[in-house]
Amino acid sequence: MQHIDDVSINFDANGLWLLNIALGIVMFGVALGISIEDFKRLFKQPKLLFVGVLSQFVVLPFFTYLFVLWISPKPSIALGMIMVAACPGGNISNFMTYLAKGNTALSVSLTAFGTLLAIVLTPLNFQLYGNLYEPTANILKEIEIKPFDLIKVVVLILGIPLILGMLVKQKNEKFAHKLSRLLKPISILVFAAIVVIAFAKNITVFNEYVHQVFSVGVFHNLIAVAIGFLLAKLLGLSFQNQKTIAIETGIQNSGLGLLLIFTFFDGLGGMAIIAAFWGIWHIISGLLLGFYWSYKPYKLPVS
């Protein structure tokens, strides 16, 4: 069995092209449900905006870096963890928040704003923490990723679909709603199918190495959820908003992470396997948390 850092997930150019399109359509479908009012609502509650951004883009990447220092995983796994932590929240967080009886409007607004910020902050956090940890810095030196190239891909996959989707909604809200209902399930299924097919071709590799990322991925996801919940609690947010920030921080856009890994790292084994595992696990953990909080009684918050 090869060292996980030397393993490469086979994913051809056609598959990568389809993955780009599918993720772009997913983001376009998400943006069809977002309006300028979502941003205005968020700016009217600056504390919620501050906590959401702080948790997602500052505290999570920093604690991921500390976690990497503590457990010293294989370099490719560490770089995959940093990549996942640098990504914005995933759009399924909105459904999980609804299920958990959280603040769905806040979840939608933070997903939209986080996606916008990710155009700059995802490449920035990835480059920062990837270069701070020596073993991952060595990989980045070998790959020689130009920050602008990373930003360019993120803009194409996140920024442009977000702006186009919001423009369509602004021009014709009824059409946007109908199109969103059609596009969301189809695009997510297509995206999931492409990823499944990619890993089906590499099932032997995945089976051989997934045990090396299982406990790391589960614990990393637990840290993400705990960071969101505890930070929101520490800063005095209501229980409903604590749940929302926890889910927003714990549900990452690992699909974007996978796309960047396939684009810039040729499917580097540890990176791709940890990102793929995250993509599966955060759905399981999010549903479990959502069902738990949906049935857990609590007192109404005073503020």
Q: What are the structural domains of the chain? A: 4-295 (1.20.1530.20)
Owner of token pair 């549903």:
287
Distance from C-alpha of 19 to C-alpha of 253, rounded to nearest angstrom: 14
pTM, two decimal places:
0.82
Instruction: Write out pLDDT tens, residues 21-55.
Output: 777 777 787 777 777 777 777 778 889 889 999 99
Q: Among candidates 272, 248, 269, 258, which has minimal Cα distance to 191?
A: 258
Instruction: Write out pLDDT tens, residues 49-87.
Output: 899 999 999 999 999 999 999 999 988 889 999 999 999
Query: Which amino acid is it at 228?
Result: G
Burial 205-224 (b: 16+ CB within 10 A, else e): bbebbeebbeebbeebbebb
Question: Lowest-confidence range among 189-203, 233-247, 263-277?
Answer: 189-203
pLDDT on residue 112? 79
Distance from C-alpha of 270 to C-alpha of 64, rounded to nearest angstrom: 16
pLDDT on residue 145? 66
What is the DSSP secondary-structure string of the chain? ---GGG-B----HHHHHHHHHHHHHHHHHHHTT--HHHHHHHHTSHHHHHHHHIIIIIIHHHHHHHHHHHH---HHHHHHHHHHHHS-B-TTHHHHHHHTT--HHHHHHHHHHHHHHHHHHHHHHHHHHHHHSHHHHHHHHHHT--HHHHHHHHIIIIIHHHHHHHHHHHH-HHHHHHHHHHHHHHHHHHHHHHHHHHHHTTHHHHHHHHHHHHHHHHHHHHHHHHHHHHHHHHTT--HHHHHHHHHHHHSB-HHHHHHHHHHHSTTBHHHHHHHHHHHHHHHHHHHHHHHHHHH---PPP--
pLDDT on residue 223? 95
pLDDT on residue 116? 83
Owner of token pair 């059409």:
175
pLDDT on residue 3? 64
Distance from C-alpha of 283 to C-alpha of 288, rounded to nearest angstrom: 9
Number of residues written out for the chain: 303
Mean pLDDT, the chain, rounded, equals 81
Structure tokens at 86: 């640098």
Confidence of residue 213 (pLDDT cuts 50, 70, 90): confident
Please return the burial class of 16, using the count of CB atoms within 10 Å of its CB with bins 0-12, 13-18 and 19+: middle
Structure tokens at 77: 């796994």
Give Cα separations from 31 to 94, 160, 167, 224, 238 (angstroms). Answer: 13, 10, 9, 25, 27
Confidence of residue 303 (pLDDT cuts 50, 70, 90): very low
Question: Is 107 within 8 Å of 247 (Cβ atoms)?
Answer: yes
Instruction: Write out pLDDT tens, residues 253-299.
Output: 877 888 888 778 776 778 888 888 887 888 888 888 988 888 865 55
Distance from C-alpha of 300 to C-alpha of 240, rounded to nearest angstrom: 9
Instruction: Write out pLDDT tens, residues 114-125.
Output: 888 888 898 899
Confidence of residue 142 (pLDDT cuts 50, 70, 90): confident
Confidence of residue 13 (pLDDT cuts 50, 70, 90): low
Give Cα separations from 235 to 52, 103, 135, 191, 239 (angstroms). Answer: 11, 17, 35, 37, 11
- The answer on pLDDT for 160 being more than 60 is yes
